[in-house]
Amino acid sequence: MYSQGLKKIKPLDFAQPEMESELTVRHAYIFRQPEQTPTTINPETPMDAKAPAHQAAAKPSGRAWLLKLLPDNIGGPLIGLALLLVVFSFSSEFFFTLRNGLNILDQVTVLGILAIGMTAVIVIGGIDLSVGSVLAFSMMMLGWLYQDQGLALGLAIPIAIATGMLAGLVSGLLITYARLPAFIATLTMMSVARGLANILTEGRQIVGYPEWFTSLATVRHFGFLSATVGLFLVMLGVAWVFLRFRAGGRNLYAIGGSPEVARLSGIKVRAITLWVYAISGALAGIAAVTMAARLDSSQPSAGLTLELDAIAAVVIGGASLSGGVGSVGGTLVGVLIIGVLRNGLNLLGVSPFIQQVVIGVVIALAVTIDTLRRRSNSAH
Q: For residue 165, which of 321, 252, 289 has the smallest C-alpha distance?
A: 289
Q: How many CB atoms lie within 10 A of CB 324?
A: 17
Cα distances (angstroms) measured from residue 335 to each of 10, 59, 166, 281? 85, 35, 26, 19
On whether the CB atoms of residues 293 and 216 are closer than 8 A, the answer is yes
- Residue by residue, pLDDT tens for the chain (380 residues) are 444 444 444 444 444 444 444 444 344 433 344 444 444 444 444 434 444 444 444 455 555 554 455 555 677 788 889 999 999 999 888 898 989 999 999 999 999 999 999 999 999 999 999 999 999 999 999 999 999 999 999 999 999 999 999 999 999 999 999 999 999 999 999 999 999 999 998 889 999 899 999 999 999 888 788 999 999 999 999 999 999 999 999 999 999 999 999 999 999 999 999 999 999 999 999 999 999 999 999 999 999 989 999 999 999 998 988 899 999 999 999 999 999 999 999 999 998 889 889 888 887 887 787 777 777 777 66
- Cα angle 351, 352, 353 (rounded to 5 degrees) comes to 90
What per-residue confidence (pLDDT) applies to 137? 97
Handedness of CA 189, 190, 194, 197 (dihedral sign): positive
Contacts of 126 by beta carbon, 8 Å cutoff, 6+ apart:
175, 182, 273, 276, 277, 323
Over the stretch 269-302, which tens digit does the pLDDT of each residue have? 999 999 999 999 999 999 999 999 999 999 999 9
Which H/E stretch holds residue 263?
A: helix 259-264
Which pLDDT value is given to residue 318?
A: 87
Q: pLDDT per residue over 238-250, tens digit each?
A: 999 999 999 999 9
* Model pLDDT, residue 360: 84
Rg (alpha carbons) of the chain, rounded to whole number: 31
The whole-angstrom separation of Cα 174 and Cα 274 is 9
- On whether the CB atoms of residues 206 and 298 are closer than 8 A, the answer is yes
Pairs from 155-162 (Cβ < 8 Å, separation ≥ 24): 157/289, 160/285, 160/288, 160/289, 161/282, 161/285, 161/286, 161/288, 161/289, 162/282, 162/285
Cα dihedral across residues 186, 279, 306, 70: positive or negative:
negative
Strand ranges for 230-298 from DSSP E: 297-298
Q: For residue 347, which phi and psi values (nearest 5 degrees)? A: -65, -30
Which amino acid is it at 132?
Answer: G
Q: Which helix (H) or strand (E) holds 245?
A: helix 227-245
Single-letter amino acid code for the residue at 24: T
Contact 130, 171 (CB under 8 A): yes
Residue 57 is predicted with a pLDDT of 44
- Pick the closest to residue 336 from 354, 362, 361 (CA basis): 362
